[in-house]
Amino acid sequence: LRSYSGFNSVPEKLQQLVPKVISRNEALQLYKIVPKVDDAVEIANRIRRYSPPAKKRYFEALALDPTAPHATIRRMANHFKEKQNIRIKLTKQQSKFFSKAATESSTEPNELATKIISQWLSRKGYK
């Protein structure tokens, strides 16, 4: 029922934090994850100064374990930050050779790119 009625289903105590502490969407998302109002208000006050991407990662981590302490959730959220998707532009010839190398090594292109970047970083001393 909460998901259908939207922001109106969020308790008044949590609604009062909008827009000074968190946004409407963040309040709704927080209430869906943590239905206990006092806990949700405490979390909102703790993350009020986080950047939007940091809040998003925090909510993802919180959804995995809503009962975990704040420090644990923050560590999990920071771990999500460590994984990055990057886009690399290759010439047609480079793309062709890269596809051929992936096929010859029987790996997916993403796995091969990860392996190549990891090896390069290791050689440069970034372990």
User: What average pLDDT score do residues 101-126 get?
Assistant: 89
Please report the DSSP string for the chain in residue order: -HHHHGGGGS-HHHHTTTTTTS-HHHHHHHHHH---HHHHHHHHHHSTTS-HHHHHHHHHHHHH-TTS-HHHHHHHHHHHHH---------HHHHHHHHHHHHHTT--HHHHHHHHHHHHHHHTT--
Parse the chain into domains and list their residue ranges. 2-82, 92-123
pLDDT bin (cut points 50, 70, 90) of residue 5 is low
pLDDT bin (cut points 50, 70, 90) of residue 1 is very low
Residue 6 clears pLDDT 90, i.e. is over it: no
User: What average pLDDT score do residues 67-77 get?
Assistant: 89
